[in-house]
Structure 1
């Protein structure tokens, strides 16, 4: 019989031999305090980066200071990268509403959700509707619920804001020179007085599109667009810029300036659509 001390001594030798042969593996798999600290720091850094990216993404909805870009093509590209996503998104939403209206024009069955959607559209486009689905003002709806060509919006934004560098654009996020209605001006400190103020580029684009699609001053513009639709022709910047009346006191010379600016930058604008 092996005595207890000998058994203990043998077990100790066995443990030492095992550790000696598998020491490399232990060294690779064992996590030290310094390893934990390093992993934690890396993880925190990744989380911090994601949070910072999220914050920057939120802030990017406001117009950045584009004066830091050299004038000419670099600044134009930076401007278009900033505004075009909001322009295309706005027109995509309008197209979805228009297509839905067309699909419902000759239907007699309306669900509560569809009635609610129609009510919302008529409200946004400032059209009176009694709620009777048999008496929907289709002609007026389809005349107003329609796109402004992407490249036309981009050209007007560039022209009115000096490619995003004007004081009005920088301080008010106002890209289109839109004045505020009498008695509704929010003359906050640091803002350009007498002009509309927007919290973001998106708000500015949306307000401009709503203005052209609803204001009585642009009724002839909408009529011309409806005529193109009726003739099954595409609504393009080339077709519509000269149809815009009343936007500037300069009259037709303003339209000529816009059209010339559009032609000069047509390829650059198209590359960002």
Structure 2
């Protein structure tokens, strides 16, 4: 008779617990390794993002310009300036275009909802166009002459010229990119601000104020008239067409426009690359 050895229960139980312990250790080690790798990847991504964010298009979230003086003068500084400022300019013109298109779509409408009347009243108020509220007597020509864009590249050129590519004291202290003076008795500058000039809480506010100034102030009526003539002739409103139409912005007169146009030509490709 062949003798079959009997299995010892104790050995089987020991082997079972050994396997369970080993599996737990391996699982824990794998989880810790995976977690560590994920942390390393996440940290690396954060570092990469933060290194690019300061002067990327994401800088539109920032309220003020970064200190661009740390960049060498020339192309590096110009690129940093345009990367920071251009999103505000394009965003402002996009909002104006949307309002202009809405006005054009309503020009021959006879039925107006309360919300549409309120919107029309808001636009007329912001663009300083007198309107009684009568939808049958809307001053369309006055509205469409004012609710229109300032070419992106023209705004960028003037911001660069007036702010020294973002390095002037006025820009750094007041968020004032365009050398705009405050109205008599309306200055609210505090310590460290340049007196006599408008102070803005953000670069976005500075861009909006500049565009509103050209679109509403009586001093720039001829500029708006020239732009309206281009529209009526179905021609594009460009920096090339409009820079020389700007009168009254500087005491230098036409020589200032010539300076702006030369600056635009010198930096045209660089500006276009950031639009």
Residue deviations 1:170-198 (CA, integer Å, cap 9, x gap): 10010000000000001200000000001
Residue deviations 1:138-180 (CA, integer Å, cap 9, x gap): 0000000000000000000000000000000010010000000
SS at match of 2:183: coil
Residue deviations 1:98-139 (CA, integer Å, cap 9, x gap): 000000000111111111111111111111111111111100
Aligned position for 2:17: 19
Aligned position for 2:114: 112
Q: 2:105 aligns with which of 103, 106, 116?
A: 103
Q: 1:259 aligns with which of 258, 261, 264?
A: 261
1:22 deviates by 3.9
Determine whether 1:79 maps to 2:90.
Answer: no
Distance 2:159 2:205 in 1: 13
User: Does the 8 Å CA contact 2:64/2:175 hold for their aligned counterparts?
Assistant: yes
User: Does the 8 Å CA contact 2:60/2:85 hold for their aligned counterparts?
Assistant: no
**Which runs of no fewer than 5 residues in structure 1 stay unpaired?**
1-9
User: Does the 8 Å CA contact 2:145/2:228 hold for their aligned counterparts?
Assistant: yes
Write out aligned runs for 1:74-223 (5 A). Answer: 74-223=76-225
Say if 1:142 and 1:11 are closer, same or farther in 2 by CA, change over 3 A: farther
Say if 1:132 and 1:15 are closer, same or farther in 2 by CA, change over 3 A: farther
1:45 deviates by 7.5
1:38 deviates by 7.4
User: Does the 8 Å CA contact 2:78/2:165 hold for their aligned counterparts?
Assistant: yes
User: Does the 8 Å CA contact 2:77/2:165 hold for their aligned counterparts?
Assistant: yes
Residue deviations 1:175-227 (CA, integer Å, cap 9, x gap): 00000000000120000000000111100000000000000000000000000
Distance 1:219 1:167 in 2: 30
Write out aligned runs for 1:219-234 (5 A). Answer: 219-234=221-236
**Which runs of no fewer than 5 residues in structure 2 stay unpaired?**
1-7
Aligned position for 1:67: 69
User: Does the 8 Å CA contact 2:85/2:203 hold for their aligned counterparts?
Assistant: yes
SS at match of 2:136: coil
User: Does the 8 Å CA contact 2:60/2:84 hold for their aligned counterparts?
Assistant: no
Taking structure 1 as the reference length, what is the TM-score of the superposition?
A: 0.87
1:93 deviates by 0.3
Distance 1:245 1:58 in 2: 30
Write out aligned runs for 1:43-62 (5 A). Answer: 60-62=62-64
1:263 deviates by 0.3
Query: What do you get for the CA RMSD once the two structures are aligned?
Result: 2.9
Aligned position for 2:248: 246
